[in-house]
Amino acid sequence: MDYKVASVDTALSLLSLVGECPGLGVTELSQRAGLNKSRAFRLLATLEMHRWVVREGDPVTYVLGPQALVLGVAAHEQVNLVKIAHRHMQTLGRALNENIQLRVRDGLESLCVARVESTHELRMHGVVGNRRPLYVGASGKVLLAFSADDVRAQVLGRPRRRFTSGTLTERDELFTELGNVRSKDCAVSFGELTPEAVSVAVPVRDATGEVVAALSASGPSSRMTRALLPDIAARLSACAVAISAGLGYQEAPLDAQDAA
């Protein structure tokens, strides 16, 4: 039985769209949401009444309002993964001065749930809440590599969009890459989503040993050179180990690993 309330579902979808694409007017929001302009306007007015969105500028555009910030702060404190990861990510961000992201799998997409920005003027721009297909980028490949067999089968079994010349879209190539990621506990992306962008990602595990997130560093290829990638990967791995430990994960002793 479907218990979905259609009007609530539509309003929440519209609110999510404002969060993902701030600064759009009612016409573009209605087009992207698949709504007529009148209904989109009424829903936005209702969300504005409850301070979930606010109007800005002339012509009018919409951004998230203070109630969304209140909920976001509460979620930040309540979501254990983000709460534990935050201080470790800040420390790593200061050490590398490149963008640090924490992404989780949501269906067949990766979702950014935490982010620390580089202070460099030239940097990769993004926001918490950003989504992208699982097969794209270092974080997505980590999450996909350690996903259940049926998830990998779904991604490998459907057409994949090419974002740049570096995007891995061939099934055999992607299949091999995912095997390499699992064996190395690390993924690297060279311009798979944005030209000249480099990212490195490693897995974060919970108390059961399951990979629940990917921790990554990203920046322009002019700074994140191939010579620096081993050091960046090592720093990411150390940070991921600290976050995983906070989630209750304990690495097997070396002698136990050798025996296995």
> What CATH number is given to the structural domain containing 110?
3.30.450.40
Instruction: Looking at the structure, tell me whether residues 157 and 56 fall in a common domain.
Output: no
Shared-domain flag, residues 147 and 229: yes
Last residue of a domain, one of 50, 69, 88: 69
Question: What does the alpha-carbon distance between residue 92 and residue 104 come to, in Å, rounded to a whole number?
Answer: 19
* Range list of β-strands (E), the chain: 53-56, 61-64, 99-106, 109-116, 131-133, 187-190, 197-205, 211-220
Residue 58 contacts by C-beta under 8 Å, 6 or more apart in sequence? none
Q: Is residue 258 part of a domain?
A: no
Please name the residue that has the structure tokens 């989780």: 104
Residue 180 belongs to a domain: yes
**pLDDT given for residue 260 in this prediction:** 47
Residue 199 forms part of a structural domain: yes
The whole-number pLDDT of residue 63 equals 94
Same domain assignment for residues 46 and 95: no
Q: Which residues contact 127 (CB under 8 A, 6 or more apart)?
A: 20, 112, 115
- Residue 49 shares a structural domain with residue 86: no
Q: How many domains does the chain have?
A: 2
Domain co-membership, 40 together with 88: no
Spans of the chain, pLDDT less than 70: 1, 76-78, 252-260
pTM strictly above 0.85: no
CB atoms within 10 A of CB 187: 27
Give the single-character DSSP code of 146: T
The CATH number of the domain holding residue 30 is 1.10.10.10
Within this chain, do residues 170 and 198 fall inside the same structural domain, yes or no? yes
What is the pLDDT at residue 198? 95
Q: Give Cα 68 distance to the centre of its chain.
A: 19
| Domain coverage including residue 142 | 79-246
Instruction: Look up residue 243 and give its amino acid.
Output: I
What token pair was written down for 59? 């012509």
Q: Is residue 255 part of a domain?
A: no
Contact yes or no for 213/233 (Cβ under 8 A): no
